[in-house]
Chain A
Amino acid sequence: MRREILMPPLSPSMTDGKISRWHVAEGQAVAAGDLIVEVATPTATLEIEAASEGHVERILVPAGTEGVKVNTPIAILLGASGEAIPQGAGLAQPQAKPLAFAAMEPLQPKRRDTPRASSRSTGARADAQGLSYREALRDALAAEMRADEAVFVIGVDVVQNRGAPKVTQGLLDEFGPARVVSVPALDEAAIGIAVGAAYAGLKPVVEVASWGGALATLGSYITSAAQTFYLSGGRLPVPIVVRGPNGFSPGMTGEESRCVAAALAHIPGLKVAQPATASTAKALLRAAIRDPGPVAVLEHEQLYAVREPMINADIALGAARVARPGGDVTIAAAGHAVVVALEATVALAREGIEAEVLDLMCVRPLDRDAIAASVARTGRLATVEDGWGALGVGAEIVASVVATCFADLKGPPIRISGADVPMPYAAELQANALPNVDDVVRAVSRLVRSG
């Protein structure tokens, strides 16, 4: 039986790599465990073993080829006679996709982007073709850096862009190392320098590799940056943006897969934006950089490559939007949870339930008016968040609705949230630790049918 061997991803963020060498030749017999090919990225090299016995029929991509896209066929393997080679045989399996993540395919046909060499090209491209979430963030950064010389980016990966975001790719070419500032580690001093620079009136944009992971070093941000305007009696504004991927990252555990939205939103003095789409990501990051105070922009690893046609409009921090109108129930969510909620509406519609998805866009300030207005239309409320539910964003929304529009409610509001545990490791556990589309469909359907 003939099987294609596909270019494997060495990491969740890898888009392409190099075939550095073949350990086998065409026609050669291989046994399970034999090395067949060596694959390399700028940060990793991996030798791939055969999973079962067979013959190499053809090598499709010669050794030395660079930029081979993940999942491109690179060779054809012929199984031993009479034996079916399982799908993907001969290769390390691509990263297991947790169910919640697998269920998250975009609603509209969307292309996955490849990171571009220069931001200038993205700015020039017609918006009708659309931008990925990452390109939209990059455009926002570049536009604000062009408009205001006080804006600079600082982080560990802002020059080399080896990690998942690749948002700052190309900025070094246009703005140079004085404004694209690479630090060896995002330690307390690097964060403190950004906060101090904001004291002095500059507008730093700090990139964190993971919001949850950065919490340990963000002390001066969640204290000094958040508090100083108030505690100085209004004398000293601190215009700093911290941005980067927040929440779940496949295979990452504990704080490195933690959603910090509720934790940050709890702090007076901070604003917390959590964009779900490319258009809103662009508008929210621009608004964040222009804001005179500290703003946290919570991005999401699984959204960076999602592309959509751009709607260019300014967004005020603290305004929600109706991502999908519907009259039966309000589903309030922010960031990646909006994507889950939108997908759930497809299945709900098949059951005859029209759900309104309210994309909060910011969890602080929270658009309580928009939430109340939506609940007034639908009479029912469900909240979805990846973070822990107890004392979380959903809890705040429910409390707000109960206090302001209790009479509009036809039934008790529900919260759908991440499991009340640190993110575990095994893919099966991770899949169960986050709210997925089925969870939302089941819970919302029950809510609507109960009254």
Chain B
Amino acid sequence: MTGSPPVPTDTEDTLFSREGDIAAYRSMLLIRRFEEKAGQLYALQAIHGVCPLCIGQEASIVGMMMEARESDPVITGYRTHGALLARGVDPRVLMAELTGRTTGLAHGKGGTVRMFAPEHQFYGGHGKAGLGAPLGAGLAFAARYRGDDAVTLCFFGDGAAARGRVLEAYKLAARWSLPIVFIVDNNTAAPGASIVLGSVPSAISESGTPFAIPGAQVDGIDVRRVRAAGRRAIDRARRGDGPTVLEMLTYRYRGHGGLPARAGGGAERRLEDADPVFKARARILASALLTERELKALEKEVKETVVAAANAARSGPAPVREDLLASIEA
């Protein structure tokens, strides 16, 4: 849409409460530490297959989740961990799923991609790029059908944004003014992509324009701006005015599993340059919401939570042959 770096487009972020800043930091830090630990376990081959991490994209997830209600359905692509943690799913259950234990969310059947927690209004977990868009529109359809005011949050990546099924979903979501927000994490790391934050034009935020769906580019490094943009989009959907496309300009620092996100060195950035977790921490210190000592205590607690989850996940019971044929049909 534009070649210039995203600029603040709102003032609501000044309304972010003290508790909000701290809660956002804690939630993003939990995701960060969880993903780092998952990356370690992947390198140790305690997790196999793929393990898509969201390091660098925490603000986009947490900002949106903070603005949504717990009754608002959430659906994602294959990058599931952050949204599940932000929804309050127990990190031990998530990590145990990644290590394929019976104590895992899907008892070791689903792995990283196929995680479903309907009791938290979390509906997966979809491996095919962009598949969450039509399924998410179905969740929104169900809310409309029942006459409740739930708004669906539908996350996918920039690589999925141009898939036909996504554009088809835009068409029907617009036709029926479905209560849904499409959140496109432009993490600049899609296969073949070369978009670097703020340096290359991107029109993903305008991809709903042919269907009269409004869109916006959002600074996905700043959880306050994410939440402010999320508020406008979610309010609009809850009013019955239909979907919005939010393009989150983020920067993912880790590849799928242990691989680096990018092959070339030119686009590499350092966490300190544009990192949602560092940014939130710096803001807390600068605003004197917490002292360095209080922050360290919070960080220690988060780290211990993740370490405990990893230990439990590695020592949990592995499924046995009899588990293979359980719950085949509803």
Contacts and interface: CB of A to CB of B under 8 A. Distances in A.
21 contacts: A183-B172, A189-B134, A193-B135, A193-B138, A196-B75, A197-B139, A197-B142, A199-B124, A199-B139, A200-B73, A202-B141, A202-B146, A219-B131, A220-B134, A224-B124, A224-B126, A224-B135, A232-B125, A233-B106, A235-B106, A239-B330
A291 B329 CA distance: 10
A195 B329 contact: no
A171 B126 CA distance: 34
Contacts of B128: 219, 223
Interface of A: 152, 178, 183-184, 187-202, 219-220, 223-224, 227-239, 268-269, 271, 291-293
Nearest to A232: B116
Contact of A202 (B104, B123, B136, B145): B145
B142 A231 contact: no
Contacts of B115: 232
B138 A200 contact: yes
Contact of B137 (A196, A232, A292): A196
Contact of B123 (A183, A191, A196, A231): A196
B168 interface: yes
B48 interface: no
A196 B141 contact: yes
A191 B114 contact: no
Interface in B99-151: 104-110, 114-118, 123-126, 128, 131, 133-143, 145-146
A228 B75 CA distance: 14
B134 A192 contact: yes
A199 B329 contact: no
Nearest to A237: B330
Given A189-B172, A196-B136, 6 more contacts: A194-B138, A196-B123, A199-B138, A200-B73, A229-B328, A269-B328
Contact of B114 (A189, A197, A232, A239): A232
Contacts of B146: 202
Interface range, B side: 35 or more
Contacts of A224: 124, 126, 131, 135
Contact of B118 (A223, A236, A271): A236
Contact of B107 (A178, A202, A233, A239): A233
A205 B128 CA distance: 24
A265 to B, nearest CB: 14
B236 interface: no
A188 B116 contact: no
Contacts of B320: none
Contacts of A229: 327-330
Contacts of B164: 187-188
B283 interface: no
Contact of B327 (A189, A190, A233): A233
Contacts of A187: 164-165, 168
Nearest to A293: B330
B171 interface: yes
Nearest to B113: A231
Nearest to B165: A188
Contacts of B168: 187-190
B109 A232 contact: yes
B326 interface: yes
B226 to A, nearest CB: 24
Given A192-B134, A224-B135, A200 B328 contact: no
Interface string B15-26: 000000000000
Given A187-B168, A195-B138, A269 B116 contact: no
A228 B116 contact: yes
Contacts of A219: 128, 131
Contacts of A236: 116, 118, 123-124
B126 A200 contact: no
Contacts of A197: 138-139, 141-142, 145
A449 to B, nearest CB: 42
A44 B30 CA distance: 63
A228 B172 CA distance: 24
A230 B142 CA distance: 23
B135 A232 contact: no
A136 B136 CA distance: 33
Contacts of B175: 184
Given A189-B168, A189-B172, A293-B330, A233 B109 contact: yes
The interface centre, meaning the residue of A197, A219, A220, A239 with most chain B CB atoms within 10 A of its CB, is A197
B169 interface: yes
A222 B109 CA distance: 18
B116 A230 contact: no
Contacts of A202: 141-142, 145-146
Contacts of A292: 330
Nearest to B144: A178
Contacts of A196: 75, 123, 134-142
A191 B169 CA distance: 10
Contacts of A269: 328-329
The interface centre, meaning the residue of A188, A228, A233 with most chain B CB atoms within 10 A of its CB, is A233
Contact of A228 (B104, B124, B134, B140): B124
A252 B185 CA distance: 44
A231 B139 contact: no
A288 to B, nearest CB: 13
A195 B172 contact: no
A228 B164 CA distance: 22
B165 A192 contact: yes
Contact of A193 (B114, B116, B137, B326): B137
B328 A268 contact: yes
A193 B164 CA distance: 14
The interface centre, meaning the residue of A223, A232, A238 with most chain B CB atoms within 10 A of its CB, is A232
A192 B163 CA distance: 14
Contacts of A238: 330
Nearest to B163: A188
A57 B156 CA distance: 71
A233 B323 CA distance: 10
Contacts of A198: 138
Nearest to B119: A235
A184 B136 CA distance: 19
A200 B139 contact: yes
A239 B107 CA distance: 22
A366 to B, nearest CB: 14
B172 A193 contact: yes
A192 B106 contact: no
